[in-house]
Structure 1
């Protein structure tokens, strides 16, 4: 008998479709806007992204006529408590500088 039998059925492994890539869950934790003299100067958003908390900021400098905001960060934290502490401190500073917070 030879090593290869032409009459034996050729078996192929089953075809599998790749699993879809799931985007991490994004949940907004908080949103704060700071205004100075009626003009928006800072927007801070805290977002839960999977296993971390991200602070996204938009800053409109008061000394310029800039239309597009500056976007420092993002600032990433391992826990919600750390992220909220960062936001609370930033809100305190903005309030001290005379901003109205909403």
Structure 2
């Protein structure tokens, strides 16, 4: 059985992972763009954002590594979409975090 402390640490690590992935304005914009689509090809994403392909690719990699998006390779194209399960998990973690009452201020 996992101790409560271990669960807390795991929750904190997961929240930090999501926060880091969303810690860049371009990644937030990419997420907003993908949230409005069922799925989208890399080329379509690149057309919307004025960054180099390598930069967009790196941002997508960060979001994918955090589990917020997933991709399907349809040679020669790559299609991206929101990972709904992970997105809901991220929403819940952030909601819980920001719902925490401040007990004491300095």
Alignment TM-score, normalising by the size of structure 2: 0.24
Higher RCO (C-alpha under 8 Å, 6+ residues apart): 2
More strand per residue:
1
Alignment TM-score, normalising by the size of structure 1: 0.24
More helix per residue:
2
